[in-house]
Amino acid sequence: MILLFIFTFNIVGSFNGSLDGIPVAYKDLFCTSSLSTTCGSFMLKNFKSPFNATVINFLEEAGAIMIGKTNMDEFGMGAANVYSVHGPVYNPQSILFDENHFEKNDGDQRVAGGSSGGSAAAVASGMCFAALGSDTGGSVRLPASYCGIVGFKPSYGQCSRWGLIAYANSLDTVGILTRTVSDAQMIYDVISKFDMNDSTSITPDVRSINSSIPSFFKLNSNTDDLRGLRVGVPKEYFVSELGESIVNLWKKGISYLKSHGATIVSVSCPSTRYALSAYYILALSEASSNLARFDGVRYGHRSEESNKNDGMLYANTRGGFGKEVKKRIILGTYALTAGSYGNYFLQAQKIRRMVKSDFDRVFKRPNPLRFTKKDSGCNENKVDVLITPVTISTAPKIEDCLTTNVNNFINTYVNDVFVVPASLAGIPAISIPFGISSIDGFPIGLQLIAQYGDDDTLLGVAKVLEKGANQK
């Protein structure tokens, strides 16, 4: 162990900071100048960025060492990580070995979850200390729950998106995957800085308004005493599709927080039921416009056929996208056409606003983005955090996610139902491993959600909750 450390310090050359010699991995949509960045797509098979993403520079300055880039759903589009040009990601919890240590394929392999499935699998199997993913509508929290690790999505704009290939700009956030909440905090402390290169990075002004609002936990506080903390249980999250094991663990999580002094309150977020549909319309509309740049001129692969038939040049070039991505581009383009803009895109924007006000209504802390002088600070009858499930089931089988059955397509979208509301509102959320299913033995996570800018309270409560996972 000691030898190993000396070795890694030699690679870096000197002691740098809090992450010296720590091995990390990056989802393959973070630009790196040393390795290619494929986004899981044939479109980018020859792409190498001239620069690193800002968050990677921050981690390298602190001494972290990249062990590799991780697989993902093509352009982040998927909840199971089965749509990648490199093939699906297997959930490490479902990989069996025979007596010769060869992998045994029993047809029962589970997905790692998407779209940051490679990052989750790398952390869950112990290949690295932490991995960066991106969370547009649950892409970090979902795989974390399926693989039995921690997945943290900070407030929108907290960590720079410069150098992260966009799926839906108004929703994309950098996410952190680790085995424990304190590990996630170590990475978060290094990357949550203002960056001029990202126009959506939270400005120093908003950061200072935010800091003037009291919050339950201060940075890096380590206490198990939750007296005075109010935890909300949103009743709309009790959906009929929810597995029994998940409901039981959710209840166990609630009682655990209560046993540490927290007050539990039932709250209502009535717009939750529309969030999923609104999310897909908004995310796909933004994606259709983002992915338009892959036309083979500056970005994207250029078809070999291009010289033979000019008329087919564009069509052949766009053929480099996978089936799921094409489907999403078509849906997004449709939502933005003159005839459906008013019926779909605008309605979805209204729902997004309703989802945000639902959250602002339940949280104690006012939202620093909508803070006005007449706000009288915190409302003590409201809550600090919400506790909910992450998924409706444990990790599905790879086979079931690859079939072309229409119902399965819809089912994979439904998996996002608990994770998209926090994405639409841009507020911080974290998935914490909380046990295994009594039916199939696969991991189950619980989600905590906090007000915008209150990432420290979220992490503080998460540190307490994760200890409850091993309690009978």
Ligand X SMILES: *[C@@H]1O[C@H](CO)[C@@H](O)[C@H](O)[C@H]1NC(C)=O
Which of 41, 139, 215, 245 is catalytic? The answer is: 139
Nearer to ligand X, 156 or 321 (CB): 156
Residue 448 CB, shortest distance to ligand X, in Å, is 15
Interface with ligand X (CB under 6 A), residue total 23
Binding segment for ligand X among 5-13, 31-39, 321-329, 384-392 (CB under 6 A)? 31-39
CA-to-CA distance for 81 and 117, rounded, in angstroms?
6
Nearer to ligand X, 56 or 190 (CB): 56
Does position 438 bind ligand X by CB under 6 A?
no
Which of 41, 94, 115, 155 is catalytic? The answer is: 115
Among 179, 207, 326, 397, binds ligand X (CB under 6 A): 207
Does position 66 bind ligand X by CB under 6 A?
yes
Is 201 marked active-site? Answer: no
Nearer to ligand X, 66 or 168 (CB): 66
Is 139 marked active-site? Answer: yes
Among 57, 180, 289, 349, binds ligand X (CB under 6 A): 57
Nearer to ligand X, 116 or 271 (CB): 116
Among 178, 210, 272, 393, binds ligand X (CB under 6 A): 210
How far from 166 is each of 28, 152, 279, 297, 369, CA to CA, in Å? 12, 19, 16, 18, 23
Binding mask 218-257 for ligand X (x = CB under 6 A): xx--------------------------------------
Does position 193 bind ligand X by CB under 6 A?
no
Does position 34 bind ligand X by CB under 6 A?
yes
Binding segment for ligand X among 32-40, 94-102, 310-318, 383-391 (CB under 6 A)? 32-40
Residue 441 CB, shortest distance to ligand X, in Å, is 36
Residue 202 CB, shortest distance to ligand X, in Å, is 6
Give the amino acid at 165. I
Does position 347 bind ligand X by CB under 6 A?
no
Among 10, 199, 203, 211, binds ligand X (CB under 6 A): 211
Within residues 129-168, the interface with ligand X by CB under 6 A covers 158, 162
Nearer to ligand X, 375 or 399 (CB): 375
Does position 111 bind ligand X by CB under 6 A?
no
Among 37, 41, 54, 288, binds ligand X (CB under 6 A): 54
Residue 44 CB, shortest distance to ligand X, in Å, is 16
Does position 119 bind ligand X by CB under 6 A?
no
CB 442 within 8 A of CB 395: yes
Nearer to ligand X, 450 or 465 (CB): 450
CA-to-CA distance for 71 and 78, rounded, in angstroms?
12
Which residues make up the interface to ligand X (CB under 6 A)? 32-35, 52, 54, 56-57, 60, 66, 158, 162, 195, 197, 202, 207, 210-211, 215, 218-219, 453, 456
Q: Point out the residues that are catalytic.
A: 27, 115, 139
